[in-house]
Amino acid sequence: MRRLPIVLLLAMLVAGCGSPAAPGSPTLDRVASSHVLRVCSTGDYRPLTALAADGTWSGIDVDMARDLAAELGARAELVRTTWATLLDDVVAGRCDIAVGGVSVTPDRAERAVFTEPYLRDGKTPIARCPDVARYGTVADIDRPGVRVVVNPGGTNERFARETFTRATIVDHPDNSTIFDEIVAGRADLMVTDAIETRWQAAQNPGVLCAVHPDAPFTASEKAYLTPAGDPSFTERVNTWLRGARTDGTWDRLARPWLG
C-alpha cells in the first residue's frame, strides 16, 4: 500500500505530468526579437573567412553563418575579432557565435561551448615550392637558421612555440598577409592547418606549396564556438549543422572555394 503513491508518481512523470519545462534560450530569444545573429570572425583565415579592404566578408564559414541566420529568421551581422580576443569576445557576449577555422582546444572549451565538429584537419607546413623537400619533418624545421612565421594569438603560434625550440619564430600580426612573408623570403615557412595551406598553394601556383597536407603533424577539429550557459542555443546550432552537412548545403557553399 505504501508503494502505490510512488508508482502513481512515476506514471505521472513518464506521462510528462509535473515534469520541468525545457530550458529557454536567451540567445535564441534575442535573435528572434532583433532578427540579428551576431557572428564573430577574424576575417583572415581563407577559405573559411575573409574580410576585404572594402569591408566585404566572404568565405565558407561566412556563408554558413548566413545560412544559419536565415534558418533562425535573422540576418548575420559579422563582428570582427582577432585570434587573441576571440574567446573573450564570445564569453563577454559581444557575439552569439564565433566561426572561421576555430580549433577545438581545452582552454576554449573551459569557458565556452563548441558545436559538433564540422572539419577535421591538422597542422602542416607551407613553404616556397623549391624548398618543400627541406621541411618534411619537425626535425627538418627545428634547426638554427630556419625562420617560422606565426600569427600571434592562435593555435598556429602555440604549435610553433611548443614544437620548435631551435628554429627562429617570426611574429607577423596580420594573418591576411602572412604568406607574403614567405613569398618575399622574409620567412622560410609557416605551419598552419592543411585546408589553409591548400588554399594558399592554389592561389600561388608554383610559388607556395603545401607540404604533405594529407599527412599533417597533428590531428585537430574545427567547430563553431557558442556561449556557455545556453545549451538550447548550442543544440539548435548543432541541429542546423547536421542538416547542412547532410543535405548538401556545406558542399554547395564550399565548392567555389575548394573546387
Interval 10-31 mean pLDDT? 59
Who contacts 149 (Cβ-Cβ below 8 Å, separation ≥6)? Answer: 170, 171, 172, 178, 181, 182, 186, 187, 189, 190
Residue 2 has pLDDT above 70, yes or no: no
pTM: 0.81
CATH code of the domain made up of 26-120+220-257: 3.40.190.10
Task: Note the pLDDT tens digit of each residue in 147-201.
Answer: 999 998 889 999 999 999 999 999 999 888 999 999 999 999 999 999 999 999 9
* Start-end of CATH 3.40.190.10 domains in the chain: 26-120+220-257, 123-210
pLDDT at 18: 37
Q: Residue 121: how many CB atoms within 10 A of its CB?
A: 22
CB 185 within 8 A of CB 149: no
Q: Residue 70: how many CB atoms within 10 A of its CB?
A: 13
CATH fold of 123-210 reads D-Maltodextrin-Binding Protein; domain 2 (3.40.190)
Residue 233 has pLDDT above 80, yes or no: yes
Task: Note the pLDDT tens digit of each residue in 184-198.
Answer: 999 999 999 999 999
Q: How far apart are CA 25 and CA 237, in angstroms?
A: 12
pLDDT at 258: 87
Task: Note the pLDDT tens digit of each residue in 40-76.
Answer: 999 999 999 999 999 999 999 999 999 999 999 999 9
CB 57 within 8 A of CB 250: no
